Amino acid sequence: KNQVEQSPQSLIILEGKNCTLQCNYTVSPFSNLRWYKQDTGRGPVSLTIMTFSENTKSNGRYTATLDADTKQSSLHITASQLSDSASYICVVSASGATNKLIFGTGTLLAVQP
């Protein structure tokens, strides 16, 4: 069964600190992996997208990594800001699946002053 698992479930950090979120997936055949940020009461917004051949992708203070062999990804947030408080969702797309996205349950990040 195609699944995406994330850890930790929730995380609290102080403003200015770094953090890393983890994602493991069993989706096959793999097409791409995305990290989304979802603010409370809003729809998800894409942060990064990586295909099989890419092992790192950055978007400002967000850096995603992908190890297609171990089927693991991470999202590293540098110098966190209060506005980073949100749910971060790892999403995997399977090849030939008409762009159907398989979502993880998300990591709820709270950045405190």
Partner 1 sequence: GAGVSQTPSNKVTEKGKYVELRCDPISGHTALYWYRQSLGQGPEFLIYFQGTGAADDSGLPNDRFFAVRPEGSVSTLKIQRTERGDSAVYLCASSSSSEGEQFFGPGTRLTVL
Residues near partner 1 (CB under 8 A) are 4, 41-46, 49, 89, 91, 98-106
In this complex, which beta carbon is closest to partner 1, that of residue 15 or of residue 103?
103
In this complex, which beta carbon is closest to partner 1, that of residue 15 or of residue 101?
101
Q: How far is the CB of 42 from partner 1 (least distance, A)?
A: 5
Q: Are 46 and 36 in contact (CB under 8 A)?
A: yes
Q: How far is the CB of 79 from partner 1 (least distance, A)?
A: 26
The Cα–Cα gap between 50 and 41 comes to 26
In this complex, which beta carbon is closest to partner 1, that of residue 77 or of residue 104?
104
- Tell me the DSSP string of 26-61: --SSEEEEEEEEE-TTS--EEEEEEETT--EEEETT
